[in-house]
């Protein structure tokens, strides 16, 4: 009897042990046992994507064709030696009279004087456009049948040098390599001077010009 009871007790004890082992430690009876905290490692996956970035907008602009630049030649005040470009009248062929007499110094001066203040200085040799210094003398003498080349030096070679004391109206006043005009017989000359001015008469001469008498 004692032996049977002992075996029964041993079986009960073994069953209890097995039950204890099978039940998780946190599943106790009558007492709430907090479940252990688990730390999970979460791996983050980086997804690369191509995003179209709009180009920066440009400021608005317009294209304007450049206007031609006009370089104004310097003008001088109106006076006895000439007229400013802004105040002088345009050339009018009706203002100019042809030579009224045969070639002479006086006739040359009378004809040359008609262009004063009417024709601007330029590279031309006609009053409809402009007169360079040699273009002016060429045009004036052509009215008397005397053909002169362009160029002050070339014109001077067609005459002979004379002294100032012997110079008369209609002779050339000449600065070698620089300028030429028509002597007025009284210490001055008619000439087309420089940019920004018109044909003019000056009462005195500068420097040491040469006096040339045409022999053509």
Q: Is 81 within a domain? A: no
Q: Which residues pair with 181 in a beta bridge?
A: 173
Q: Is 12 within a domain? A: no
Per-residue pLDDT at 100: 76
Distances (CA, A) of 38 to 31, 34, 35: 21, 12, 9
Distance between CA atoms of residues 136 and 180, nearest Å: 9
Q: Is 82 within a domain? A: no
- pLDDT (tens digit, 9 = 90+) per residue, 82-109? 444 444 445 676 678 888 778 999 999 9
Radius of gyration of the chain (CA): 58
The DSSP secondary-structure symbol of 196 reads T
Residue-number span of the structural domain to which 192 is assigned: 93-214
Per-residue pLDDT at 90: 59
Please state which of the ranges 3-7, 77-81, 140-144, 160-164 shows the lowest mean pLDDT. Answer: 77-81
Q: Is 136 within a domain? A: yes
Distance between CA atoms of residues 70 and 75, nearest Å: 14
Q: Is 130 within a domain? A: yes
Q: Is 86 within a domain? A: no
Q: Is 169 within 8 Å of 108 (Cβ atoms)?
A: yes
User: Domain holding 167: CATH number?
Assistant: 3.90.1720.10
Provide the edge-to-edge strand list for the sheet that holds 210-214.
Answer: 159-162, 210-214, 172-175, 179-183, 189-191, 200-202
Q: Is 38 within a domain? A: no
| pTM for the structure as a whole | 0.59
For the beta carbon of residue 139, count every other beta carbon within 10 angstroms: 20
Q: What does residue 214 show for φ and ψ, rounded to 5 degrees?
A: -70, 140
- pLDDT (tens digit, 9 = 90+) per residue, 24-65? 444 444 444 444 455 444 444 444 444 443 443 333 323 333
Q: Is 189 within a domain? A: yes
Positions annotated as catalytic residues are: 133, 179, 191
Overall domain count for the chain: 1
């Amino acid at each position: 009897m004692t032996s049977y009871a002992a075996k029964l007790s041993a079986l009960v004890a073994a069953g209890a042990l097995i039950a204890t082992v099978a039940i998780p430690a946190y599943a106790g009876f009558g007492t709430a046992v907090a479940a252990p905290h688990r730390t999970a490692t979460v791996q983050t996956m980086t997804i690369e994507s191509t995003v179209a970035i709009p180009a920066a907008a440009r400021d608005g602009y317009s294209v304007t064709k450049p206007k031609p630049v006009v370089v104004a030649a310097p003008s001088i005040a109106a006076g006895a030696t000439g007229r400013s470009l802004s105040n002088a009248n345009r050339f009018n062929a009706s203002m100019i009279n042809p030579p009224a007499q045969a070639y002479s110094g006086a006739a040359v001066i009378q004809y040359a004087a008609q262009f004063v203040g009417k024709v601007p200085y330029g590279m031309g040799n006609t009053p409809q456009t402009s007169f360079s210094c040699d273009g002016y003398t060429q045009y004036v003498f052509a009215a008397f049948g005397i053909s002169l080349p362009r160029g002050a030096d070339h014109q001077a070679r067609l005459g002979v040098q004379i002294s100032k004391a012997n110079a008369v109206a209609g002779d050339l006043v000449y600065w070698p390599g620089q300028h030429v005009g028509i002597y007025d017989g009284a210490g001055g000359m008619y000439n087309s001077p420089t940019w920004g001015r018109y044909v003019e008469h000056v009462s005195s001469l500068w420097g040491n010009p040469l006096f040339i008498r045409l022999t053509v």
